[in-house]
A and B are shown apart, each in its own frame.
Chain A
């Protein structure tokens, strides 16, 4: 029963879903008395119209690639890791401790160390729910949600009581040393004679995210471990038959997932803020769920979905700034995109499958 060509499944369905979401967003904007065409122009202009806009879009996208990969790796083991937010928060703490503990001479040394710090802390935060799931059967969705709150409270406490600069009124850590400063796109592209906006936060981490995507692909589809993760995800009983240890797979998949979420901190904490602030993750952990869903848990899909959500974040901010469209409405638009691309997938899929079927029948006739 061949239903639909692969390209239609991977590209056409998300595309149509996005268009529907944009249509309804337009209706909402029109309903509050604004011009939808103008709004979309402002968003596109704001996100892609200048190197500053592109820099912000890619900065957000980098966060989402990490958290999207994090959700996807767990999903391949049929684990729904909702804890990306908390794991990325803890990753921020790991990166901060690494960056502040050594007077780093150069970013090339600081970056690998910070990556290890972020990944370790993220993985550690995922380990507890993973262990509880594997050994005690506590549902991972519940525990990871709870660990988001615990993580936020824990890091808030550490900032206030340990990392805060004495005498400062700000709830943030000290600034990282200059040697831990990651090159921004402005600095990276200058040697090639390309001028990029100086203030845009996109940085070296974007390349790390792309490398992580490649590593993700190799892990899932080329290695034994990835094979076992996917096998376990498809059928636990079959995995047992094959001699794959379920508890081991749950824990390893969650460790990798947590590490990927924790890695995000090299972008938002080390690359952008260059210090640890409270609530540094800003919901990127949750966006990762939508990104993985929309990207079909494949690195290429996750990359494209991350760019889309980067555009929504950056374009949405511009919209709120220039068009006096309330910030809340921008959130509504983002929610519509998540709803149509993620939750209402079958609404587009079923009619489309019928359409393809009708076409293929006509061809036969």
Chain B
């Protein structure tokens, strides 16, 4: 053990390589290929990332971005190809080797110990020796220095669970910097951030870049690529289809490179013609199992033939709103559906009774809620409606053959690929899984459709289709309540936008009369939208 510690100490003492000529790329990948069984996740990838630049990698789900980064970080071993760091070929067998090579990774899902302090998390796995005190002191000094240098201020003694998501992400960056990373890889870094937090992150990244750090950012958001990167590489089906200077491209061109055909980035829809209120919500409150009030008296209504979009950063009560309306979270207050009040708790408040009242629900999390991944498509196609009389053969048995036939026609109608009812749900791509859920809920002809994150983890081609289906349902005179953390989606789909923050409604806007900046501030809890520069960090 002591030998290992010594080696570790030597590495941290050694000066970071900076003498190499600027022309040598920080990272160069040559001919990287990786297959998982018959699936070729990466095919002959070549990429060269200039030192001190921000390089974006963009591509649809399953395009191979994450696989490529996992190879770079030593989680997978490439079947073939070379990795060069600062012009020298390296073998990255595991994450230890990646760290030693100066690579730091910030994952989409943070790898932090929730009940440890910031300092403890920073030194975790990089302790010098058996006693913690010296390394904690060293980390504290470094953290102070880093927070002064960049905008990376975090309270070193705060517990992770007490920090906001934005601050947790800073801890992840600090972890990488503490390990003397020269190359920072960020996987979908803005997925959980408010626009203000994202801006802050971008300022941090700019600062790091000025200090000569190299940054690779993986994302599927075209806007961010355009905003922050110097160079962008596009991946499609395991191949690197293009690498271009960001200043010389456009979102439309990138989208086309990603999908392989021209795509409509904006939803084509007629103005809404709202009718009578379908659901009226008054003073709705939810207190969760930890006795935390998640929904603090929410009131609004959704009318027939309109899409009401709920904007907000994840975790501000939107999930609970959908759950309580979907019938699997208890609440208090008053919800009137088609002029009949609904029980919000008790024996008769569950998903079954909600469905009977004409409420269909496309849940935010299709893996944990909307689908049973181990079930075949046909079994999923009646999930939640399995008590419906038309799916029963007799008093005892379900009509499995009939359900399979129904599934086949739904799959054809919603363009689910492959259209095989006997395939397990987990074998479909994210977009096709979502189409299965959407088909199930829309085909039941509900009066109110609850939709949570309809296009999360869905490829651009399928997004277009899913948006069209939602708009088509609206045009049939149905009420739609849309929850999404993607502001673009909220702005382009909704007829009215309600912004939520900390379990409360911050305000209501008409899409044509607002913009991302204003909504972003409201999402951060600032109601007085006239002071647009104030308190972006809070």
User: From residue 189 to 242 of chain A, which have CB atoms closer than 8 A to chain B?
Assistant: 218, 222-224, 227-228, 230-231, 234-235, 237-238, 240-242
Chain B minimum-CB-distance residue to A1: B37
Roughly how many angstroms separate A2 CA and B424 CA in the complex, as a whole number?
12
Chain B minimum-CB-distance residue to A2: B38
* Interface presence of A245 (CB below 8 A): yes
* Interface presence of A360 (CB below 8 A): yes
Known A-B contacts A241-B363, A243-B328, A243-B350; A224 and B368 likewise in contact (beta carbons under 8 Å)? no
Would B354 and A243 count as touching, CB distance under 8 A? yes
Would B38 and A241 count as touching, CB distance under 8 A? no
Would A241 and B326 count as touching, CB distance under 8 A? yes
Stretch at the interface among B183-191, B372-380, B496-504: B372-380
Would A235 and B383 count as touching, CB distance under 8 A? no
Roughly how many angstroms separate A268 CA and B32 CA in the complex, as a whole number?
64
Would B374 and A241 count as touching, CB distance under 8 A? no
Would A234 and B374 count as touching, CB distance under 8 A? yes
Roughly how many angstroms separate A244 CA and B352 CA in the complex, as a whole number?
8
Chain A residues whose C-beta falls within 8 Å of the C-beta of B400 in the assembled complex: 222
Chain A residues whose C-beta falls within 8 Å of the C-beta of B397 in the assembled complex: 218, 222-223
Chain A residues whose C-beta falls within 8 Å of the C-beta of B327 in the assembled complex: 243
Roughly how many angstroms separate A227 CA and B375 CA in the complex, as a whole number?
10
Would A3 and B37 count as touching, CB distance under 8 A? yes
Would B398 and A243 count as touching, CB distance under 8 A? no
* Interface presence of A357 (CB below 8 A): yes
Known A-B contacts A240-B328, A243-B328, A243-B352; A235 and B372 likewise in contact (beta carbons under 8 Å)? yes
Chain A residues whose C-beta falls within 8 Å of the C-beta of B398 in the assembled complex: 222-224, 227
Chain A residues whose C-beta falls within 8 Å of the C-beta of B368 in the assembled complex: 235, 237-238
Roughly how many angstroms separate A224 CA and B384 CA in the complex, as a whole number?
11
* Interface presence of B386 (CB below 8 A): yes
Roughly how many angstroms separate A243 CA and B328 CA in the complex, as a whole number?
7
* Interface presence of A136 (CB below 8 A): no
Contact with B along A234-277 (1 / 0, CB 8 A): 11011011111100000000000000000000000000000000
* Interface presence of A362 (CB below 8 A): no
* Interface presence of B317 (CB below 8 A): no
Would B370 and A241 count as touching, CB distance under 8 A? yes
Would A357 and B37 count as touching, CB distance under 8 A? yes
Chain B minimum-CB-distance residue to A232: B372
* Interface presence of A361 (CB below 8 A): yes
Would A1 and B38 count as touching, CB distance under 8 A? yes
* Interface presence of B140 (CB below 8 A): no
* Interface presence of B371 (CB below 8 A): yes
State which of B38, B39, B352, B372 has its C-beta within 8 Å of the C-beta of A238.
Answer: B372
Roughly how many angstroms separate A227 CA and B398 CA in the complex, as a whole number?
9
In this complex, how many residues of chain A approach chain B with their Cβ under 8 Å: the count is 25
Known A-B contacts A237-B368, A237-B369, A243-B352; A223 and B386 likewise in contact (beta carbons under 8 Å)? no
Chain B minimum-CB-distance residue to A236: B368
* Interface presence of B351 (CB below 8 A): yes
* Interface presence of B269 (CB below 8 A): no
Would B375 and A230 count as touching, CB distance under 8 A? yes
A309 CB to nearest B CB, Å = 27
Roughly how many angstroms separate A357 CA and B353 CA in the complex, as a whole number?
47
Chain A residues whose C-beta falls within 8 Å of the C-beta of B37 in the assembled complex: 1-3, 357
State which of A223, A228, A237, A240 has its C-beta within 8 Å of the C-beta of B396.
Answer: A223
B276 CB to nearest A CB, Å = 27
User: From residue 48 to 84 of chain A, which have CB atoms closer than 8 A to chain B?
Assistant: none
Is chain A's interface secondary structure helix, strand, loop, or mixed overall? helix
Roughly how many angstroms separate A364 CA and B38 CA in the complex, as a whole number?
10
Would A238 and B351 count as touching, CB distance under 8 A? no
Chain A residues whose C-beta falls within 8 Å of the C-beta of B266 in the assembled complex: none
Among A2, A243, A357, max chain B CB count under 10 A is at: A243
Would A238 and B371 count as touching, CB distance under 8 A? yes
* Interface presence of B237 (CB below 8 A): no
Would B374 and A242 count as touching, CB distance under 8 A? no
Roughly how many angstroms separate A238 CA and B371 CA in the complex, as a whole number?
7
Chain A residues whose C-beta falls within 8 Å of the C-beta of B387 in the assembled complex: 224
* Interface presence of B361 (CB below 8 A): yes
Chain A residues whose C-beta falls within 8 Å of the C-beta of B363 in the assembled complex: 241
* Interface presence of B70 (CB below 8 A): no
A225 CB to nearest B CB, Å = 9
Would B352 and A241 count as touching, CB distance under 8 A? no
Chain B residues whose C-beta falls within 8 Å of the C-beta of A227 in the assembled complex: 379, 386, 398
A217 CB to nearest B CB, Å = 12
Among A223, A240, A360, max chain B CB count under 10 A is at: A240
Would A243 and B375 count as touching, CB distance under 8 A? no
Roughly how many angstroms separate A237 CA and B386 CA in the complex, as a whole number?
17
Roughly how many angstroms separate A244 CA and B397 CA in the complex, as a whole number?
18
State which of B39, B373, B384, B386 has its C-beta within 8 Å of the C-beta of A241.
Answer: B384
Contact with B along A278-309 (1 / 0, CB 8 A): 00000000000000000000000000000000
A75 CB to nearest B CB, Å = 13
Known A-B contacts A1-B36, A223-B398; A241 and B379 likewise in contact (beta carbons under 8 Å)? no
Chain A residues whose C-beta falls within 8 Å of the C-beta of B383 in the assembled complex: 231, 238, 242
Roughly how many angstroms separate A222 CA and B403 CA in the complex, as a whole number?
12
Chain A residues whose C-beta falls within 8 Å of the C-beta of B355 in the assembled complex: 243
Roughly how many angstroms separate A224 CA and B363 CA in the complex, as a whole number?
22
Would A231 and B351 count as touching, CB distance under 8 A? no
Chain A minimum-CB-distance residue to B354: A243
Chain A residues whose C-beta falls within 8 Å of the C-beta of B326 in the assembled complex: 241
Among B36, B328, B352, B370, max chain A CB count under 10 A is at: B328
User: From residue 209 to 223 of chain B, which have CB atoms closer than 8 A to chain A?
Assistant: none
* Interface presence of B153 (CB below 8 A): no
Chain B minimum-CB-distance residue to A357: B37
Known A-B contacts A222-B398, A227-B386; A234 and B350 likewise in contact (beta carbons under 8 Å)? no
* Interface presence of B82 (CB below 8 A): no
State which of B353, B374, B396 has its C-beta within 8 Å of the C-beta of A243.
Answer: B353
Chain A residues whose C-beta falls within 8 Å of the C-beta of B365 in the assembled complex: 237
User: From residue 356 to 415 of chain B, which have CB atoms closer than 8 A to chain A?
Assistant: 361, 363, 365, 368-375, 379, 383-384, 386-387, 392, 396-398, 400
Chain A minimum-CB-distance residue to B365: A237
Would A228 and B328 count as touching, CB distance under 8 A? no
Would B372 and A231 count as touching, CB distance under 8 A? yes
4 further interface pairs, Cβ-Cβ under 8 Å (given A2-B38, A238-B369, A243-B352): A234-B374, A235-B368, A237-B368, A242-B384
- Sorted from nearest, which 8 A-B pairs have the closest CB atoms? A243-B351, A243-B352, A242-B384, A241-B369, A243-B350, A240-B328, A237-B368, A234-B372
List 14 A-B pairs, Cβ < 8 Å: A1-B36, A1-B39, A218-B397, A223-B397, A224-B392, A227-B398, A230-B375, A231-B375, A238-B371, A240-B328, A241-B326, A241-B328, A243-B351, A361-B38
- B residues apposed to A, CB below 8 Å: 36-39, 326-328, 350-355, 361, 363, 365, 368-375, 379, 383-384, 386-387, 392, 396-398, 400, 427
